[in-house]
Amino acid sequence: MRIRIVGAGAMGRGIAQWAAAAGHTVELCDVRTEAVTAAVDFVRSMLERAVQKGRTTSGEAASALERLVPLDDPWAPGPEVELVIEAVREDLDTKAEVFGKLEEALPDSAVFATNTSSLSVTRIAASLRDPGRLAGLHFFNPVPLMKIVEVVPGAATRPEIPPALTALVESCGHRAVTVADTPGFLVNHAGRGLVTEALALLEESVAGPADIDRIARDVLGLRMGPFELTDLTGLDVTAAVIDSIWQGFRHEDRLRPSYLTPNRVTAGLHGRKNGRGWYAYGPEAPAPAPEAPVTGDSGRPVFVTGEGREGLRDALSAAGATVEDGPEPSEAAVVLVPVWGTTVAAAVASLGLPAARTFGVDPLPAAGRRRVLAVTPASDPAAARDARAVLARAADGGEPHAVSVVRDTAGSVAQRLLASVVSVAASIAERSLATPADIDLAVTTGLGYPVGPLAWGDRIGAARLLDLQRALHATTGDPRYRPTRWLTERAELGLSLTDRGTSPADCA
């Protein structure tokens, strides 16, 4: 296939390398001739690096470079061009102008694709004489390594074009997911669950960025915590995406932005790219503050109560802790309560527990390397330090558990993050914006989550996850946490969250 790529910036040159390496002839052009020259040099260096690392041969790299054809004029006639991929700046008028000129220069048979990440594909196509020839083809940077592409049909896109683009993408070694033309498409939309909830936790002073990141990594198994991630992508970029998706979905509560971000963006606290974000970067930046050492008495007796207490009791007993067996805690014991969607304060009130020495424990990391201890405004600091020391104990001489101390909140940190991730993905499935399989594929490939959000929900169990979301909603009163119809129906019917289910069309 002969492909013309318009725009030789970071995305354009990455797409050019990907397509040329896959065997296609690629015309690379830009209104700035020097950008094309620089892009060809960049692709050459990347191919040489691939040869050095054994990812390709010198012959394959040379052939790919031969298939990369620099063009001086983006609007040059191209009777053999079958596909155009536009990768110019994110501006509707600019993209419409580019496609208008291409429509004059290229044959009617050429398919047009836009790499837009935030603009409406339908609105871009509406400027064409034939809007049916255009679809979205959204790559992620760096293109050769991020092996996922969103295929986005506009409202007028001809039905044969998305399957053809999907076949092209997958023949070149990437995975393709078909996504509705909605704000954020799929990956950016699904990613809002983690980041917006992390910001909400910070707003409420539940924990600081470093502790939330540690919990996200060590309890949920994410590669990066949400604040590390926004520093990597840039808070200015992240904040703009959050706002645009929230506005595009008419102020949907699940996607609600935080008041924390505008001032930080204005202050230039963007992250790695300028050396200051949630963390400091650069050779002169101070090292991140280490976690506070465990200083309490690990031999203090503990009393474990509440729903799910058996698992925590067994784990602490196996670690050699003194676990009381009586119906009530002794005067010397600290009290630990596993909480699922509720607060420690509510447990103190309903069970008549001693407020100063009663603490919450998140049951999610029961077998993990980090545990989370929740304290209330009534907590005795000395008792909290002892509770932390008891939770840090490890069985059979193993490494002690890390223990994060957070403010009491419904569901604690990890539960709220996970509930939000699953909830946003379920709302995408509920609206039929993408199939469950494509949602999980896109999130694991594009965001690096350890498992797709719907499959993650299945690991917890749909019924248990529904209990969590109902408890969060009832405890907080915030519509952000209301359960989705997708989750509620599948929990009640015993279906997997990844099951598309039967639709009226299936019964026609």
d(CA 77, CA 70): 14
Are the C-beta atoms of 114 and 86 separated by less than 8 Å? yes
d(CA 98, CA 275): 35
Residue 427 is a catalytic residue:
no
Which phi and psi angles does 336 have, rounded to 5°?
A: -115, 130
Write the CB contacts of 445 (distance below 8 Å, at least 6 apart in sequence).
146, 147, 148, 175
Long-range contacts for 256-264 (Cβ within 8 Å, ≥24 apart)?
256/196, 256/200, 256/480, 257/196, 257/199, 258/196, 258/199, 258/200, 258/202, 258/203, 259/203, 260/199, 260/202, 260/203, 261/199, 261/235, 264/235
- The single residue of 115, 120, 188, 258 carrying the catalytic annotation is 188
Residue 117 is a catalytic residue:
yes
Are the C-beta atoms of 374 and 284 separated by less than 8 Å? no
Of 477, 427, 479, 483, the C-alpha closest to 253 is 479
Tell me, what DSSP letter sits at residue 506?
G
Residue 138 is a catalytic residue:
yes
Residue 150 is a catalytic residue:
yes
Helices and strands in the chain, H and E counts: 20, 13
Asked if the peptide bond before residue 226 counts as cis, ω within 30 degrees of 0, the response is no
d(CA 211, CA 409): 15
d(CA 264, CA 266): 5
Where b means 16+ CB within 10 Å and e means fewer, 26-61 reads bbbbbeeeebbeebbebbbebbeebbeeeebeeeeb
Tokens 């009163």 belong to: 477
Are the C-beta atoms of 149 and 137 separated by less than 8 Å? yes
- The single residue of 27, 86, 103, 150 carrying the catalytic annotation is 150
Are the C-beta atoms of 380 and 355 separated by less than 8 Å? no
- The single residue of 24, 103, 117, 258 carrying the catalytic annotation is 117
- The single residue of 82, 86, 115, 138 carrying the catalytic annotation is 138
Q: Please give the positions annotated as active site.
A: 117, 138, 150, 188
